[in-house]
Amino acid sequence: MSMEEFEKKIVSLQDTPFGYTLSVIGGKWRLVILYWLVEYQTLRFNELYRKIGTITYKILSTQLKDMETDGLIIRKEYPQIPPKVEYSLSDKGRSLYPIMEAMCQWGMEYKK
């Protein structure tokens, strides 16, 4: 497919690779959740909730479900009482690390 053919198929930003990437990492909480899972590899719901600090239970729960649906995180449930659920990054989620690292480098360079 030529660039001209590709450009004709673009109807909106979401039709572009950039738009897709934005849909996966965009929003207020996704990069924050990804950051903590990069730092700690595996976290339980309440651990993640405490690390973030300013998110509600409902929003965290919704974000985790959506991120699991998008293939960014893995939810592992242990059959025990009380229930134990752990979250970690999938390979797709870990593949976002270079983007996050570039954002950190940019922040170090431009933060005053």
Q: Does residue 104 sit within a domain?
A: yes
Q: How many domains does the chain have?
A: 1
- Show the domain range for 39: 28-110
Tens of pLDDT, residue by residue over 28-73, are 899 999 999 999 999 999 999 999 999 999 999 999 999 999 999 9
Quick check: helix, strand or coil at residue 84? strand
Amino acid letter, 67: M
Tens of pLDDT, residue by residue over 71-80, are 999 999 998 8
Rounded to whole angstroms, how far apart are CA atoms 91 and 35? 15
pLDDT tier for residue 27 given thresholds of 50, 70 and 90: confident
Residue 44, domain CATH: 1.10.10.10
Query: What is the 8-class DSSP label of residue 72?
Result: S
